[in-house]
Amino acid sequence: MKRFAYVLVSFMLVFMLSGCYDSREIERTGAVIAMGIDKGDLMKYRVSFHIQKHTAQSSGGSDKGGELPKNQALMTVEAPTVADALRQANEIISVDLNVSTNKMIIISEDIAKEGMYGPLYEIISSPQLNYNSYIAVAKGKAMDVMKNVNPAEENYLSVYYELILYNLHEDHTKYFFSDDVYFNLESYVKQDVVLPLVGVNNNDITGYFRDDTSSDLLAGEVPRKSTNKAEFLGGAVFKGDKMIGYLTESEMAAYSMLYGTFRTRDFTVEYPKGSGKYVVINLNQEEKPAIKTTIENGKIKENFDLKLTGVYELKDPSKHFTEFNEAYTEYFKSEIKRMCLDLLNKSSREWHSDIFSTGKRLRKCFTTWHEYEDYNYMSKFPETEYSVNVEVRFRRNGRFS
Q: What is the CATH topology of the domain spanning 263-401?
A: GMP Synthetase; Chain A, domain 3 (3.30.300)
Euclidean distance between CA atoms 276 and 272, whole angstroms: 8
Region 214-226 average pLDDT: 52
Q: Does pLDDT of 221 surpass 50?
A: no
Closest CA to 266 of 223, 326, 219, 211: 219
| Structure confidence at residue 306 as a pLDDT band (50, 70, 90) | very high
Q: Is the pLDDT of residue 177 over 90?
A: no
- The answer to whether residue 22 scores a pLDDT higher than 80 is no
Can you tell me the mean pLDDT for 322-349? 89
CB 27 within 8 A of CB 67: no
Grade residue 213 by pLDDT with cuts at 50, 70 and 90: very low
Share of the chain above pLDDT 70, in %: 71
Q: What angle do CA 347, 211, 201 make, to 5 degrees?
A: 100
Nearest to 28 by CA among 57, 49, 50, 54: 54
The confidence score (pLDDT) of residue 188 equals 52
What pLDDT is stored for residue 96 in this prediction?
74
The pLDDT tens digits of the residues spanning 122-131 come to 887 777 765 5
At 383 the pLDDT is 92
Query: Mean pLDDT over all residues of the chain?
Result: 77
Local confidence band at 19 (pLDDT 50, 70, 90 cut-offs): low
Is the pLDDT at 172 greater than 70? The verdict is no
- The pLDDT, as a whole number, for residue 63 is 45
Q: What is the pLDDT of residue 116?
A: 86
> What is the per-residue pLDDT for 270?
81
Buried b (16+ CB within 10 A) or exposed e, 251-280: bbbbbbbbbbbbeebebbbebeeeeebebe
Tens-digit pLDDT profile for residues 50-77: 887 665 443 444 444 445 556 677 888 9
The overall longest dimension of the chain from CA atoms, in Å, is 99
The 10 Å CB-count burial string (b at 16+, else e) for 98-137 is: bbebbbbbbbbbebbeeebeebbbbbbeeeebbbebbbbb
Per-residue pLDDT band for 244 (boundaries 50, 70, 90) equals very high
Given a cut of 70, whether residue 323 has pLDDT beyond it is yes
pLDDT for res 200? 82
**Confidence tier at 146 by pLDDT (50, 70, 90):** confident
Going by pLDDT thresholds of 50, 70 and 90, the confidence category of residue 46 is: very high
Q: What is the pTM of this model?
A: 0.79
Phi, psi of 271 (to 5 degrees): -145, 130
Domain range list for the chain: 26-250, 263-401
